[in-house]
Structure 1
Amino acid sequence: MSRTRSAAGSALGVHRRSVLAATGAVALSAGAGYALRPSDSRAATGAATAAGAGSGEAATASSRLAPAAPLAPYTQGTTLAAVAAPRGRTGYRRLGTGAGWPRVVRDDLAAPRAGRADRRTALAAFVQLTDLHLIDVQHPLRLEYLRSTDVHAWRPQEALTVHGAIALVERINALRGAPVTGAPLHFAMTTGDNTDNNARSELEWFLTVMSGGRITPNTGDPRQYEGVQNSGLKLYWQPGAAVRDADKQLGFPRLDGFLDAAIREVRSPGLNLPWYSTVGNHDAMPLGCYASHGDSRLTELAVGGRKLMSLSAAEARKLQDALKNDRDPKGALYRDFLEAHARAMRGVTPDERRAPFTPAEYLEAHLDPAYTGPGPVGHGYSTANVDAGTQYYAFRIADDVIGISLDTTDPGGHYNGSVGDAQLRWLDRTLRQNEDAHAVVFSHHTSRTMTNTRPDPARPDEARRTGQDVLNVLGSHRNVLAWVNGHIHRNAVTPHARPDGRSFWEISTASHVDHPQLARVIELTDNKDGTLSVFTTLVESSAPHRTDFSDLSQTGLAALYRELSLNAPGARTDLAGDPGDRNTELVLRKG
C-alpha cells in the first residue's frame, strides 16, 4: 500500500501542507501583482475560519473528511473497472458493460523506479470535466441545417446534454477516493465549453448542474418542444413520428414521448466538492466563433420567433467553408445570411433567455451567490476579474501545489485560441514567484489549437501569442507538472521535454457531448526517489451502460444520451485515444 499524505481536514488533524485551498482562489488581473492571498484581491473566500486564514497565507479548507489511514485505492465507477462497450459492428449498436481499460506507465520523460508504490506520497487529487456543451437545442441561431452537407453538424443526442451532465456529477459525487492513492478528491475543474451557443439559458443550466438545483431544459413554448426534431424533416431524427428519416434508416428507434421527456424538469444534486471554472470559446462567443457581442440585429435573431431548419447542400457548404476558413470572425456575413433566408424560417416562440451573454456577464454569473454551491465564491473568478476584464486566475491547491487557469479564447473571433501578451507575462511571473511549488496549468485550448492571433478588439495594440509561446514559458520553469485542457474532444497525453531536463505533460481529455463521454481524475504524487508521477484515470457518468427504450426517466435519458452519441452518424471512433492516452502513470523528474 502506498503511503499517502491526506489532503483534506479531519477531526483527527492533518499535516498543514496537506490541506486543500479549496476556497482560497485568488483571481489576478494583469499587472495586479501575485501572492496567492485573499488580501491581494477582492475575491470573497468565505473561509474566515479555515486553516491559515489569519496567518497571512491563502485561506484553506477541505472538501471532504479524510478517511482513516491507510487510504485504499478506489476504482469503483472508473474505466479501470468497466467501460461501456458496443455490441455488434454494424447498424444501430446497443451498449453493454465491457472490460475496463488498463493503466499504462509512460516513461517518455523519466524512467520509473522500482518500489515507488511503497514510497510515494499524495500531493493532490482532483477531477477534470471538459466540453460539456450544454445545448439549448431550440435556439434560433443553431447551425443544424449544415447537416445537409456535413453529417457532423447535428447530433441526435443533443437534446439530452443536461441529463448527461447531471449523471456525470452523480458519478463524481460517488467516488470515495482517488483511484491510485485513495486520497480524497479535493476539487473539480471544468476546462471550458460549458455552454454551446453562448446563451443565457445554457449558462443558467450549467451553473445549476454544477452547484445543484432544478432545471427545465426548455426555452420558448413551456408546453412543448419546438425544433428540428419535430419538424418532420427527414434530415433529422424524428423520435416521436412515423416518418422514415435518415437516422431511422440507420436503425435509430422510434421513441414516443421522447421530446416531452427531454424538456421535463430535472434535478441536479450539484457537486459535493469545490469546483473551479475555465472559459472556452463556446462560452465566450456566440456559436463558439463569432465576436459579435454588441450586434443588436444578431441578438434580435437569437431571442426572436424565427428559426432556420433546412438549407440546400450547396448553400450549406458555402456557410460552412466561411466558418472553417475564418472568413467571418464578427458574424456579419452570418447575420446577413440569416436575414436573407428569413422567408424560409419557421415560427418558434420568442424567448429573451436565449440572448448571448458577455464575458462580464459570465463572470458575474459565477459570482452570483445562488450558484456558490460548495464554493469557492466565484469558482476561481473574482471582482478583480470583472474590473480588469480578464478571465484568468491562480489558486492554491495545497501549500506545495498551485493551479493556474488561463483564458485561451481569442475575443477577435474564430474557434481556435491564443493568449494576450499581458496574460503570458502574468503566467511567467506567477510561475517564477511560486517556484517552490508544483504547478498545474488549466486551459480550454490545447497547445496545437492555439494558432489564432487575431487582435482582441478591446486591446487592439496587444500582441496575441500562440500555443508554442505558452509551451516556451512553461518549459522555462522547473515547477510545471502538467497542462490540462480540452477543446479537441479527444483523449491525448503529450510529453514536452527540454534538453535541460525541464519537462511536463500535456493532458487533453475527451468531451462529454461526443462518445465516449468521459471525465478524468488526476492525481499528483511524489515518488520520493527524484521522480514524480501524474496519474490519470477516466470516468464515465453514473448512467447504466444498458439502455431501456421504455425508460424515459432522468436516469434512462442519461443512459440513452451515451448510446445515441455512440451511434451518431459520422461519429469519430478515435476520440478515446490510444491506451497511453487514457488511464496512465506519467513519470517525470522532480524539478
Structure 2
Amino acid sequence: MPRTRSVATALDRRSFLAAAGALSASTGIGLAIGLDGGGHEAQAARPAQPLTRANSRPAPAPPLAPYKRGTTLDAVAAPGTGRGYRRLGSGAAWPRVTRGEMAGARKGREARRRTLAAFVQFTDLHIVDTQHPNRYEFLRTETASAWRPQEALSVQGAVSLVERVNALRGAPATGAPLGFVMTTGDNTDNNARCELDWFLKALSGGTIVPNSGDPRHYEGVQDSGLPLFWHPEGELRDADRKAGFPRIEGFLDAAIGAVRSPGLNVPWYSTVGNHDSLPGGCFANDGWFHEFSVGDRKLMELDRGQAARFWQAIRAGDDPKGAYFKDLIRTHRSRLRRITPDRGRAPFTRAEYLTAHLDPVHTGPGPVGHGYTQANLAASTQYYTFEIADDVLGISLDTTNSAGHYEGSLGTAQWNWLERTLEQADKDGRYAIVFSHHTSTSMRNTRPDPARPREARHGGQELVGLLKRHPRVLAWVNGHSHRNKVRPRGTFWEITTASHIDYPQLARVIEIADNQDGTLSLFTTLIESVAPHRTSFEDLTQTGLASLYRELSFNSPGRKPELLGEGYDRNTELLLPKR
C-alpha cells in the first residue's frame, strides 16, 4: 500500500537539504569548462567552498494553511487603458477552477485531504546572451520571437522569479512545504556556455554579469542604429519608439551590469530542452557553429525576402543542420558587423552540460547534479528518476533530438528505460509525475539521431499511449509552447506552462493531495516574479529592471494573448480517481 509522507517528514528533509546545500557560486561553469563569471576565459579556477551551515539559505516556515498572497490568486499584472505602449499595474486575480473531467468533486474533501507533495515548475527561462553571433534577430520582420525588446533583462527576470519562490510561505492550496523546483527545459537560449553559467548561478546563487564580448559596453542590435530594433538610448526613432516605447538612458549599461542571485532556498532539478542542446534551438551542433559563435562577426540585418525563406525553412524543419544559416553568413560577409570575440559563447556539449550541473559550486540547496548523476555522464544520457515523496516518483525525460529541429521525440533506448521505470513504479505502488520539455503535440521529430542512428524515434501521441497504460501516472508536466494549457489525457493530466521570456512570464506551483474519498486532486497555481507590477523608467536597479522585463514583454510587438490560456488552464484543481 502506498505510503503518504507526513508534513513533518517533508519539513525535516527540506531543512536538512537546505542546511547541507548552499555554496558560494562566485565562480561557476568556469570550473567545468574554463570560463569566469562573465563568460571569458578563466585565469585560474578557484576551489569550491566547503558545505557549511553558514552558507545555507533556510526556507521560510510554511503556515500549513491555504493562502493567496504572492500568487495570481491574489493579483495579476495588467495593463492600463489607452493605445500604444501601455504601463502595467496590479489587476484582478485569477480564480481557481475545479475540473472534473476524469473524476467528480466530492463535498468535504478539503477537511479530509492529505498532501502527498508540492513543488514549483519553471520552464523556458531562456537566459539570453543578446550579443551572441549565432542569433537570428534579423528575422524580426518575419517572427517576433526572433528578437524581443525585453531579452537583455532575462537574467534580472529569472532572479526575480527565484526571489518569488523564496518568499512563498508554502504551497498555496494546501499550505504544505514546497519540496523542490523543476525547470522543464530551454534554461538557456542559444546553447552557449556563458548562458549556462548564468542559469546555474541564477538558480543556485552567485553574482552574474550578463555580458559577453567587450566587458566595457554592449555590442548588440540595440545599439546598431538599425530601425528594426528598439534603441532605448539616443535619438533614433526606430519602429518601437514610434509605437511608444520609452527612451531610457543608461538602460544598456544597467542591463549588462552585475546581478546578484540569492539562489533558490529549496532543492531544484533540471530537465533539458532543445535550446539547451542545439544552436539556435534548432540546428544540429557541429564545428562550424562553434567557430562562428566564438568569432568577431555578427549578422544583424537581412533582406525581407531572404528572411522569409529562412524562417519558412526553420518552421518546416527543412534545415536541421543549419545549411541555410551558414550560406547566409558566407554570402553576406560584407554586411557582418564586427564585435568582440569571446570563447565563452561556444556551444556546450552534452558532457559539458552534465559536468556543469555536477560541479560542486552549483550545488546550492541540492541535490548534487540537480537530478543528473555520474552515471548520466558516463552513459551520455540526460534522463533520470528522483524521489518526490515516499509514494511519488519523478521522471525527467530528454525529448530533444540532436539531429536538429525544434520539435522533439524519444529514442528507443530511453523509451525502453521509461517502460521499465513505469512498470517498476506500478509494482511498488508508487504514483509518477513525468517531466519533459516538449508537449505531446510538439514531439513529431522522428529523424534518426546521429548519435544513435539505428534507433527508432517515438513521438508525442505514442508517449501519451504509453503513459495511459500506467494509470498511476498522475501528470505529464512540460513547457516548450510558451502557453498555459491543461488537458485531460484519459488517465492523467498534461500540464503545460507558459515561458518566462514571453508575456505573461509565469511559473506554476503544483500540489498533489489524496482526498481520502477515492479521488486525488492536483492543484496548479500560477506565480509571477516578485518584481512590482509597476516601476519608474528611472529605476535601473536589479528589481526595477525585472519589473521592466515584464512590462516590455507585454508591449513586445507580436505578443500573443493566447499564451495566457483560458481560465481553466491557469489556477486549477484537477481531479483524478485514486488507483
Q: TM-score scaled to structure 1, two decimals?
A: 0.89
Query: In structure 2, what is the equivalent of residue 147 of structure 1?
Result: 140
The RMSD of aligned alpha carbons is 2.2
Question: Partners in 1 of 2:445 and 2:87 — Cα distance?
Answer: 40
- Bigger fraction of residues in helix: 2
Question: Partners in 1 of 2:210 and 2:59 — Cα distance?
Answer: 31
Query: In structure 2, what is the equivalent of residue 531 of structure 1?
Result: 519
**Equivalent runs, 1:534-553 vs 2, <5 Å:** 534-553=522-541
Question: Partners in 1 of 2:231 and 2:9 — Cα distance?
Answer: 49
**Equivalent runs, 1:357-376 vs 2, <5 Å:** 357-376=348-367
Alignment partner of 1:169 is 2:162: yes
Partner amino acid, structure 2, of 1:576? L
Partner amino acid, structure 2, of 1:587? L
Task: Output one character per residue of 1:434-479: Cα deviation in whole Å (capped at 9) or x when no partner.
Answer: 1101110000000010011011101111000001111111100121
Kept in 1, the 8 Å contact 2:477–2:494? The answer is: yes
Alignment partner of 1:428 is 2:429: no
Query: In structure 2, what is the equivalent of residue 265 of structure 1?
Result: 258
Query: In structure 2, what is the equivalent of residue 456 of structure 1?
Result: 449
Partner amino acid, structure 2, of 1:114? K
Partner amino acid, structure 2, of 1:365? A
Question: Partners in 1 of 2:346 and 2:91 — Cα distance?
Answer: 43
Question: Partners in 2 of 1:440 and 1:551 — Cα distance?
Answer: 41
Question: Once the 2 structures are TM-superposed, how far is the Cα of residue 150 of structure 1 from its aligned partner?
Answer: 3.1
Question: Partners in 1 of 2:144 and 2:486 — Cα distance?
Answer: 28
**Equivalent runs, 1:71-470 vs 2, <5 Å:** 71-292=64-285, 295-435=286-426, 436-470=429-463
Partner amino acid, structure 2, of 1:120? R
Kept in 1, the 8 Å contact 2:18–2:266? The answer is: no
Unaligned runs of 5+ in 2: 22-49, 52-56
| Change in CA separation of 1:10 and 1:148 when aligned onto 2, cut-off 3 Å | closer
| Change in CA separation of 1:4 and 1:186 when aligned onto 2, cut-off 3 Å | same
Kept in 1, the 8 Å contact 2:18–2:365? The answer is: no
Kept in 2, the 8 Å contact 1:198–1:288? The answer is: yes
Question: Once the 2 structures are TM-superposed, how far is the Cα of residue 154 of structure 1 from its aligned partner?
Answer: 1.1
Task: Output one character per residue of 1:528-547: Cα deviation in whole Å (capped at 9) or x when no partner.
Answer: 00000000000000000012
Query: In structure 1, what is the equivalent of residue 36 of structure 2?
Result: none
Partner amino acid, structure 2, of 1:132? L
| Change in CA separation of 1:22 and 1:441 when aligned onto 2, cut-off 3 Å | farther
Tell me the percent identity.
Answer: 63
| Change in CA separation of 1:287 and 1:393 when aligned onto 2, cut-off 3 Å | same
**Residue aligned with 1:585, SS:** strand
Partner amino acid, structure 1, of 2:318? R
**Residue aligned with 1:202, SS:** helix
Question: Partners in 2 of 1:163 and 1:510 — Cα distance?
Answer: 18
Question: Partners in 1 of 2:384 and 2:58 — Cα distance?
Answer: 20
Partner amino acid, structure 2, of 1:522? I
Alignment partner of 1:6 is 2:7: yes
Question: Once the 2 structures are TM-superposed, how far is the Cα of residue 260 of structure 1 from its aligned partner?
Answer: 0.6
Question: Partners in 2 of 1:529 and 1:19 — Cα distance?
Answer: 33
Query: In structure 2, what is the equivalent of residue 57 of structure 1?
Result: none
Kept in 2, the 8 Å contact 1:8–1:64? The answer is: no
Partner amino acid, structure 2, of 1:574? E
**Residue aligned with 1:411, SS:** coil
Partner amino acid, structure 2, of 1:329? P
Partner amino acid, structure 2, of 1:519? A
Question: Partners in 1 of 2:333 and 2:551 — Cα distance?
Answer: 35
**Residue aligned with 1:334, SS:** helix
Question: Once the 2 structures are TM-superposed, how far is the Cα of residue 21 of structure 1 from its aligned partner?
Answer: 12
Kept in 1, the 8 Å contact 2:18–2:366? The answer is: no
Q: TM-score scaled to structure 2, two decimals?
A: 0.90
Partner amino acid, structure 2, of 1:348? I
| Change in CA separation of 1:126 and 1:320 when aligned onto 2, cut-off 3 Å | same
| Change in CA separation of 1:356 and 1:344 when aligned onto 2, cut-off 3 Å | same
**Residue aligned with 2:214, SS:** coil
